[in-house]
Structure formats: C-alpha cells, structure tokens
Structure 1
Amino acid sequence: MSSPGSQHPLDEVRILDLFAGPGGLDVAAHFLGFKSIGIEWDRNACETRYAAGLPTYHADVSVMRESRFDEIPSSVDVLAGGPPCQSFSVAGHGAGRAALDTVKEFIHRLVSGKNEAQIDKDLHAMGVDPRTALVLEPLRWLLKAIEAKDRDPYRVIVLEQVPAVLPLWEVYAQLLRSGEGRLQGVKYEADCWELKTEQFGVPQTRTRAVLVARLVGSGAVERPEATHLPFDLRRGQSSAAQAEMLPNSRGTRAPWLSMAQALDDASTPRGGSIDISRLRTGGKTEFFVVSNYGSNGDPKNRGRRKSSEPAFTVTGKVSRNKVYKSAEDHDAGRSDRFTIAESGVLQTFPHNFPWSGHHQAQQVGNAVPPRLGMHVLSRALRGIAPTDDELARSASWPAVPDATADELRAIGCGDRSQCPRDGHKVTRAAPKSAP
C-alpha cells in the first residue's frame, strides 16, 4: 500500500470526511486502500492531519458547502462524518438530547424544500446550540450534491455520533429511503445501529450510533458483524468456552481486547514505539485506572478498570484519568497518566501516529476509533469485513516526508485567508513581571 500523499494528494479522492478531526475515519480509509479528504476547523487537528499525510481543508463545514463546494474533488462519491457530539453527549449538558424533536422537525423542513436561510434564522431564534444544528450538515451536503448540475449524488453515506443521536439517524434513514422533496427521487438503502467498539477489537468500551446508506442499486446495507465479545460491565468474565459458543463468519468471536494487551502489542519489545516499562511488574503489564468521571450519579464515585479489561470511553479528558500500578500506590497517592500515544492506541490509532499541535488529548478523545471505522467503511463500500492483513497493517503508520506535510498545509491553509476566523491566532502568555 502506498504511503499517504505519495501521489498528488487530491488524485482519485473517494471519501469526503466532514468534521474530520485528527483522522479516525481517514486512517481507516487509508488501510482499506481508499483515499479521502477531510474538512476540519481546528488548526491543531489539521496539524496532526498534515503530519500524517491526510489531505485536509482547514475550513468550516458550512462555509465549504455554501461558498467553496466546487473545490471538492469531483471523484468524491462517499460522504462521511461525525458532527460534534458535545451537546448530545451524556457527558455534556444534554441540550442536543432535549432538542431532538426540534432537530427532527428541521430535518423534515430541509428535505421538503423550505428556505434554508429561514431555517437558519429559526434555529438561531429558538436558541438551538450551534453544535446541535451541525447534525443537519451531512443532509445539507447531500442535498447540495443532488441539486448541483455538475455532480452525481453521493453513492454511499456513512455517519456516526453518540447513541443519543440514533433517533435522528432513523429520521435520516427514513427520508433517504423515500426519495421525497429535494431528494428528487434519489433513493437509498439505509439503516442505522448502535455499535459497541469493544466488539470490533477496540480496547475500550464506547457505543456509537452509525448510519450507512447506499444508492438503490448499489447493494443492500448490512450491519457490520462483530468480531469480539461484548464487555460485561458487571465484570462477568467471558470464558474461552463462552467464546466458542458464539460463532461468526470467522468461526468464533474473540474475547474483548484489554488495555494491557493493546499496549503490549504497541510497545518497544514487540516492535512498537511505546515504552510501557513503568507499567510492568515482573515482566507483566498490570495496573488499574481510576476514571475522571463519577459513576451512578455520584461525582465522587470514580469508576475503576483493571488492565485486563477494556478502557473507559476515551474522551478529551483522558489525560485526567489516574493510573496506578498497585493498591499501595493508590493509597500513597502515587499515580501515573496515559501518554498521548498510549491514549491513541486505546483508540486504535497506530502506535507511531504523529500527533501534533496543541490540545492533543482532546484530539484523541474526539476521534472515531479507526478500527471501528475500518469495519464500518469496509462493510459500506465493499460489502465485506476488513481482512486480517488490513487489520494487522493498521498497527503502524507509514512515515510522511516533511515536504508532503508542507504541500498539504498549502492546500489546506494556503495564505490563511480562507481559514476559519482566528483559526491561526496564537495566544501568548502575558510576560512575567521582573522579580
């Protein structure tokens, strides 16, 4: 497989990734052999993407749609993305969850042909969180492509979000199947599901709401098939005998992947770049993690996970979770933290992925786990699961020359005049007073 950026970065781009972040879906696409381009407004995530060789527009998704739509390569026939989830997330204030019915109404208004400027005005007047409104953007991009005279409709659509958004994806799927209104008779086979990441080889418990749609005639939409057992939050251990009782296309479902196994596989003794010697005792990787979040409504009741279990959901505050080698260390207050590279591995990014810019923990937490992305994209685009060889190759990222990163930065930022407002503003600390 060629390295990212080994040809001209925009040659034969197949996938457009809205709200691309540091590249979870793009990394997945790369290991499946597909080229992608992302739109991302955060300059720090863009710097990670440039360093990784991932083509990127440093831009606002809405602005790209409204005034720069013709810059998207004509070869793009797959629309993908995960709109920001903070307002829908259980960890957030839940404004998006409270506004679900309102957003459903606006989805129907968009498809029925109502004036988009009026829709924007009404959203603003109702005080809808701007991040909540961004869940409408994939639909707006789809309608824009259908109504463009020089574009074909997207052949495949892949969207993901937190579970609270599943009712909105169900509305999306219903409308995509109908071909009504501004869809102009363009119909899709569409379905949506909740997928648990640990059932796809991600060493982390995280549930995502995923929608997949394919143009009618492109084949049926099938749910990605789980390859691993679910993690029992009540700590019921899945024995090898239980695993043998759950057959799938590969014969059996493997037990979920633990933090220790994932970090061991990415560590220096096994050819990786991560040094986890500080987490080993007697040659064995063994520790436990205390969450930054409370449990069962009690902020003081911090959850715990053993290294022999999957990680908690990796969020932008992953660096606040405390890691202890022993109960004695816990009692003495001797804690450790996961490094950015280790946090990335728990998200299934390659061990040597070139995290760059500031706010790297936030970048890691905002990303789609690439391993889950590989299963979703492979099933959506090829109708099959990723191969064992593709999954094995995804452990390591190819080196990207500085010249390639510079070329991508020139494409993504240019003279910076079209980047998001204050997108390159550097905040400097106030000078210290002389002693």
Structure 2
Amino acid sequence: MLKSIELFAGAGGLALGTELAGFHAVAAIERDKWACETLEENKSRGFPLVKDLRVVCGDVRDLDYESIPSGLDLVSGGPPCQPFSIGGKHRAFEDERDMFSAFADVVARLKPRSFIIENVKGLTRAAFANYVAYIEHRVSMPEISQKPGETWQEHLKRLEREKTSTGDHGVRYNVARQLFNAADYGAPQKRERVFIVGFREDQDVHWNFPDPTHSFDALLREQWITGEYWDRHQVSKRARGSVPERLRGRVERLRVLNSNDGCLPWQTVRDALQTLPEPRSDGRQTAGIANHRFQPGARVYKGHTGSPIDLPSKALKAGDHGVPGGENMMVKPNGEVRYFTVRESARLQGFPDGYVFHGAWSETMRQLGNAVPVMLAHSVASSVAQKLLEADLARIAKHGKLH
C-alpha cells in the first residue's frame, strides 16, 4: 500500500483524490476549525475514504514528526492560496499565509518518494515569476533551508549555486509544474489550478502530467452537431434554441472537419445536478439529502453573472467576495438565477453525496471554494502512483526485492 500524508487538507478534496488513486493517508493536517470538523464528521460517519484517517487540527509548522511513520510515498497538500489568488491582495511571500517553505520543511524531514503541491492559477502571474522559481528550487532541494535573516531572494541565489555545485547537499527532487483546467479531467467546473509535482531523484522516474480526458469541442459536438446532449436530458429543440453566436464559427469548423479529439465531453452543470431535486423554496432542508438547502439573495450584476447550466460552472469562489457577490449561482435557461446549494457545489467539486460539510452556509461554501476538484486530484495522483509502482517493479526485477 502506498502511504501518504496530507498537509493543508481543507475539506478533503485532494485527500479524496489521492485515496482514490491508491494512496492511504496516515494523517491529514488542517488548522481551520470548520474544515477539521468536516473531516472528523465524515470520519465518524464511516465514510469509506476517510474512516481510518487521523485528523490533526493544527499548524503544519507544529507537526509532531515522531507520530508520522517513515517510508512515506507521498506528501501532498495545497498551501493557502490567498497570497496568490486573483481575488486576494496578491502579497505572495509578504503574506503570513504563504506556507510553501513550511511544505518544503516537511518534505525535508520526511523525505517522501514524491510530493504534490496544488495552488491557484494566480501563482502563474508574471509578477510572481521569480518567487515561483524560488518555490521550485526550495522544494527540489528541501534540506537547504533558509538561514536566519536571509531574504527569499538571497536564498534563491544560494539554491541556484547549490544546484550546479558538486557534493552532497541532501535529498533532491526532480520537479515539474503545470496549469490544469479541471473541466478537462471530468469536473463540471472550469477551475484552473497549478500543480507542482516532485519525485525523489533516487526513484529514477521519468514522468509527464496526465493528458486531458474531456474537452469543450466534444461537448459542442454533442450539443450542436449530434444533439445527443439535449436528447439525453430530454430538452426539446425549442427549449435548446440555436447555437450561441459566439460559438457558431467553432461549431461550423467542427462540423466541416468532422474531427474527433478522442475525449469525452466536458461535464456541465446540468449533467452534474440532474439527479438532484430543486431545493425547497422555504429554505428547509431537503429530506434525505445532506447540505441541500435553498439560500436566498442571488442576483446578477456587473462581473457576477453566474453559471449557465449547459456549460461547466465557473470556478466556485470562497469568502465574502465570491459568495454574496453572485458567482456561486446557476443561471437557468429562462434567465432566472439562484445560489448553488452546498450539495450542488459539492457535486461541482466532485465530492460524493455521502460526504457532508460542517458549518453554516458561508463556512461550508468557503471550504468548497478552497477545495481541489476530486476528479483533478485523482488524475494527477493516479499518474504519480503509477510511476511509483513502476519504480517498485523495476527494483524488484533488478534486485529481487524492494529497498
């Protein structure tokens, strides 16, 4: 069994994805009270992927290393994204929530065979380019830590010198970074996330990020060329209308070329929510469906127009800016809007219906807005697990046993 540990676990999206990929988390560390209660509640309810999970509600920097078994295959986690989020103040390394160095310190102590770091698209902004280079150097040589009084720029220069020098500088990792759109991997949400993945050099792993499994072109083909999408959802020709003007050129090219990229269609809001009833308009809990309660107050205004149900949703937002602001809402075919319920938002993030969220609506939506789509986490973690298992088989073939 592949063993892992989850840092900055949040509500558990990345943890569920790694578990589905074949890793078993020995612990999940999270300091937010509400997210910890979500993890603990699902554990106490016996939810299969977390029923044996040890939840540590505390700061990653205070981790008790004596309680963590040796020989970990993976350290995974999404350091707080607010320092780099498009919706935040973009303070990066000047933000006290910047925890990339804390992640590197854990890697230095535990020396796992691999690691996965997940973060927001904002990390790729040109203004952060030098600091992203520092992050990659920092995690590739995690034992070369920052000296007291040393700035990150000075540390980066030292890391760059160490990278090309000879001698023993501790454990090293081969690191790769890529931006993903979760919709390309089966999530019914256009959510772009950065992944930084590292393999310990002695694993001799040659690895590439997984190829997309879903595409927008495949969705357009099903909707506006074959009509299979509308037939599946029993939407009449009158109700579906005609091809939106902004898509007509693209659809016509697909029709003329008659090409197929081999991908499945992007999943839409309608796809994700088709088996859920409408929430009760009186605001009471829908019987038998956890976290499915109507939230009033949705409205459209400039910059906050919601998500049409026949496309993947826009990225769910966390915090006051996104939730009351209007982006976490669906747009019905008749133009009406309403907020996604917590359960609907959970489906857009790939959480199973049996996975419950603890806290008031604003708290649960914040957990979901900060989460990693389970499908995307699963795709990346599966590709990592495959390479680790291949490395194990190669060592067995060469030495007759694992070392």
TM range (shorter): 0.5 to 0.7
- Pick aligned residue for 1:372 from 369, 373, 376: 376
Tell me, in whole angstroms, the C-alpha distance in 2 between the residues paired with 1:258 and 1:326.
Answer: 13
8 Å CA contact 2:308, 2:333 repeated in 1:
no
1:137 counterpart = 2:102: yes
- Rounded Cα–Cα distance in structure 1 between residues aligned with 2:256 and 2:60: 46
Offset, 1:63: 1.4
Query: Measured at CA, do residues 293 and 15 of structure 1 come closer, stay the same or move farther in structure 2, by a change above 3 Å?
Result: farther
Aligned equivalents of 1:382, 1:324: Cα separation in 2: 40
In 1: Cα distance, 2:206 partner to 2:140 partner: 12
Tell me how far 1:198 sits from its aligned partner. Answer: 0.9
The alignment's TM-score, normalised by the length of structure 2, stands at 0.66
Supply the AA of the counterpart residue of 1:215: R
1:277: how far off?
7.5
What pairs up with 1:61-210 in 2 under 5 angstroms?
Answer: 61-64=60-63, 68-96=64-92, 103=93, 128-132=94-98, 134-145=99-110, 153-166=111-124, 167=129, 168-174=131-137, 181=144, 184-210=169-195
Percent pairwise identity: 25
Name the residue aligned to 2:247: 236
Cα distance, 1:138–1:276 mapped onto 2, change above 3 Å:
same
Amino acid in structure 2 at the alignment position of 1:38 = A
Assess if the C-alpha contact under 8 Å between 1:78 and 1:157 holds in 2.
Answer: yes
CA contact (8 A) 1:156 1:381 kept: no
**Letter of the aligned partner of 1:138 in structure 2?**
F
Partner of 2:364: 360
What is the Cα deviation at residue 181 of structure 1?
A: 4.2
Alpha-carbon distance change, 52 to 208 in structure 1, aligned in 2, over 3 angstroms: same
How far off is 1:263 after superposition?
1.0
Question: Please, what TM-score do these two structures have when normalized by structure 1?
Answer: 0.61
Instruction: Please tell me whether the aligned partners of residues 263 and 276 of structure 1 are also in contact (alpha carbons under 8 angstroms).
Output: no
Give the conservation status (yes or no) of the 8 Å contact 2:309–2:332.
no
**Across the two proteins, how many residue pairs are aligned to each other?**
300
1:352 Cα deviation from its structure 2 partner: 2.5
Unaligned stretches of 5+ residues in structure 2: 44-49, 146-167, 221-243, 282-296, 389-403
Instruction: State the AA in 2 paired with 1:30.
Output: E
Which residue in the other structure is 1:225 paired with? Answer: 211
Matched residues in 2 for 1:180 and 1:326: separation?
55
Q: Secondary structure of the equivalent of 1:15? A: strand
Note the C-alpha offset of 1:84: 0.7
Unaligned runs of 5+ in 1: 1-11, 97-102, 104-127, 146-152, 268-273, 280-290, 385-435
Report the counterpart of residue 350 of structure 1 in structure 2.
352
Secondary structure of 2:264's counterpart equals: coil
Name the counterpart of 1:410: none
By how many angstroms is 1:190 displaced? 1.5
SS at match of 2:5: strand
RMSD (Å) for aligned C-alpha atoms: 3.3
Conserved 8 A contact 1:176-1:189: no
Distance 1:303 1:143, change over 3 A: same
Q: Is the 8 A contact 1:222 1:383 kept in 2?
A: no
Q: Which residue of 2 aligns with 1:253?
A: 263
Code of the aligned partner of 2:29: I
* SS of alignment partner, residue 267 of structure 2: coil
Cα deviation, residue 193, structure 1 = 0.7
CA distance in 2, matches of 1:31, 1:323: 29
Q: Using a 3 Å threshold, how does the CA distance of structure 1 residues 159 and 244 change in structure 2: closer, same or farther?
A: farther
| Alpha-carbon shift at residue 26 of structure 1 (Å) | 1.2
Instruction: Quote how far apart the aligned CAs of 1:187 are.
Output: 2.5
* TM-aligned CA deviation for residue 130 of structure 1: 0.7
- C-alpha distance in structure 2 between counterparts of 1:30 and 1:246, whole Å: 32
Residue number among 20, 33, 38 corresponding to 2:9 in the alignment? 20
Deviation at 1:142, TM superposition (A): 1.7
Deviations along 1:55-89, one digit per CA (max 9) or x if unpaired, are 2101111111xxx2212233533111111111210
Q: Does the CA contact (< 8 Å) of 2:349 and 2:368 recur in 1?
A: yes
- Cα distance per residue 1:150-200 (max 9 Å; x no partner): xxx210010011123244454443455568846834222221011111111
Cα distance in 2, alignment partners of residues 71 and 61 from structure 1? 13
- For each residue in 1:215-239, what CA deviation from the matched residue of structure 2 results, as whole angstroms up to 9, or x when unmatched? 1242112112111125899953765
Shift of 1:262: 1.1
Moved more, 315-324 or 237-246: 237-246
Tell me: CA distance 1:208–1:129, structure 2 relative to 1, closer, same or farther (3 Å). same
Conserved in 1, the CA contact under 8 Å of 2:177 and 2:194? yes
Between the aligned partners of 1:213 and 1:77, the Cα distance in structure 2 is 11
Q: 2:36 aligns with which of 46, 69, 93?
A: 46
| Matching residue of 2:340 | 338
SS in 1 for 2:23: coil
What's 1:100 paired with? none
